[in-house]
Amino acid sequence: MREKLNQYVMIVVLLIIGVLFISPFLWMLSVSIDRMANMRIPFPPTLIPDEMAAFNYEIVFENGKLIRAYVNSSIVTLASVIIQVSAALLGGYAFSKGTFRGKKLLFLLVLATMMIPIEARLIPLYQMFNSIGLLNSLWPVIIPSVLYGFGVFLCKQYFDRIPDSLREAAQIDGASEFRTFFQVYFPLAGPIAATLVILSFMGNWNEFVWPLVVLNDENLHTIPLFLASFSLENGTSLAGMTMALATMSVVPIIIVFLFFQRYIIQSIALSGLKE
Tell me if residue 195 falls in helix, strand or coil. helix
For 136-175, what is each residue's pLDDT tens digit? 889 999 998 888 888 999 889 888 888 888 888 888 888 8
| CA dist., res. 120 & res. 118, Å (int) | 5
Topology at the third CATH level for domain 63-271: MetI-like fold (1.10.3720)
pLDDT score for 87? 92
Residue range 107-133, pLDDT digits in tens: 999 888 888 888 888 889 999 999 998
Domain residue extents for the chain? 1-53, 63-271
Per-residue confidence at 275, pLDDT binned at 50, 70, 90? very low
10 Å Cβ neighbour count for 41?
Answer: 15
pLDDT, position 145:
85
Q: What local confidence, expressed as pLDDT, does residue 140 receive? A: 92
pLDDT in tens, 216-259: 888 899 999 988 887 766 665 677 788 888 888 888 888 888 88
3-state helix, strand, coil in the chain (%, to 5): 75, 0, 25
Question: 267 pLDDT exceeds 60?
Answer: no
Predicted confidence at residue 43, as pLDDT, reads: 67
Mean pLDDT of the chain: 83
3-state secondary structure 214-271: HCCCHHHCCHHHHHHHHHHHHCCCCHHHHHHHHHHHHHHHHHHHHHHHHHHHHHHHHH
Please state, in angstroms and rounded to a whole number, the distance separating the CA atoms of residues 179 and 186: 10
